Amino acid sequence: MAYDEPPSTALVTGASSGIGAEYAARLARRGWDLVLVARRAERLDALAGRLREETGAAVEPMVADLAQSSGLARVTERVAEADVGLLVNNAGINGYGPFAEADSALLTKVVEVNVVAPTVLTRAAVPRMVTRGRGAIVNVASLLAFAGGLPPGPLPHRAVYGGTKGYLVTFTRTLAAELGDTPVHVQVVCPGLTATEFHLGTGEAPVAGEARVHDEGGMPAADVVTASLAALDTREVVCVPGLSDPGAVTRLADAELALRNGSGAGLAPRYRPAERPYG
């Protein structure tokens, strides 16, 4: 389906700034009504008021911390309602820092926001979308999901953050295959460095003050959303906004198939102990 022909309401998490706010503005201009979720009430109210005035969309701000069970429960209840035809799991925090020095409570929060929340919200949304016969989920991951063993500098210390984004990539691709015979489309968008305020904090608390952009720059949030919405129209599962060669995704799948060839019952010869003539 073309997502310039909305059925109903889009729910966007992490909507108070950056990529989330850009999804909200773009979808409102396309005719969607919105539920906007974030921790910062003033930012949400200002965005909701502006979008109502500019587009005529119905905009429902929902202040919630997805790391808290009570906040997640309220958003889960809302996303399961019949009018929600698009879920954008954009909320995320980074928790950057050397793993051995990082605060364990912050790392737990990274997992709660980046892994638990999108999983729970997707589970709440999908059954009604399948029943309705249309719907889509967008999970916002990161190219750091593919950074693997690259050392910090210039990349951040990111063991947990990268792991959570790797989860989103695998979760989305696997769920998309599972739902392949249904009209529900699932996408993971993997931006690289993006010009937002994301790097101005670790996520322990919301960034205070007016919306601004970190000094590192990066791709405009508007371009990330342009790529994602275009990929929704073509049912592209893995969207990398700056990637010119889509064959890279195919080659990744081929490499994974080669790895899965190691699932046989026999031990690989390279792991067999060498002969020991002296026992």
Active-site entry in 3, 23, 96, 161: 161
- pLDDT value of position 211: 55
* Separation CA 126–CA 122 (nearest Å): 6
Q: Is residue 279 situated within a structural domain?
A: no
Contact 39, 64 (CB under 8 A): yes
Q: Is residue 141 situated within a structural domain?
A: yes
Query: Residue 202: is its pLDDT beyond 90?
Result: no
Averaged over 97-106, what is the pLDDT?
Answer: 96
Q: Is residue 4 situated within a structural domain?
A: no
Model confidence pLDDT, tens digit, residues 52-89: 999 999 999 999 999 999 999 999 999 999 999 999 99
Residue 49 host element (H or E) = helix 41-55
Q: Is residue 65 situated within a structural domain?
A: yes
Averaged over 111-130, what is the pLDDT?
Answer: 98
The total number of structural domains that make up the chain: 1
pLDDT band at residue 1 using 50, 70 and 90 as cut-offs: very low
| Predicted TM-score of the model (pTM) | 0.91
Cβ burial of 129 (10 Å; 0-12, 13-18, 19+) is: buried
Contact 225, 23 (CB under 8 A): yes
Contact 18, 194 (CB under 8 A): yes
Q: Is residue 156 situated within a structural domain?
A: yes
pLDDT band at residue 266 using 50, 70 and 90 as cut-offs: confident
- pLDDT value of position 6: 52
Instruction: Identify how many contiguous H helices and E strands the chain contains and give both numbers.
Output: 8, 9
* Separation CA 236–CA 190 (nearest Å): 12
pLDDT band at residue 270 using 50, 70 and 90 as cut-offs: confident
Q: Is residue 173 situated within a structural domain?
A: yes
* DSSP letter for each residue of 202-256: -SSSPPPSS----TT--EEHHHHHHHHHHHHHTT-SEE-TT-S-THHHHHHHHHH
Query: Residue 47: is its pLDDT beyond 90?
Result: yes
Q: Is residue 278 situated within a structural domain?
A: no
> Is residue 167 among the annotated active site residues?
no
What residues make up the domain containing 89?
9-271
Q: Is residue 78 situated within a structural domain?
A: yes
CATH number of 238's domain: 3.40.50.720
Averaged over 10-29, what is the pLDDT?
Answer: 97
Averaged over 23-27, what is the pLDDT?
Answer: 98
Averaged over 121-137, what is the pLDDT?
Answer: 96
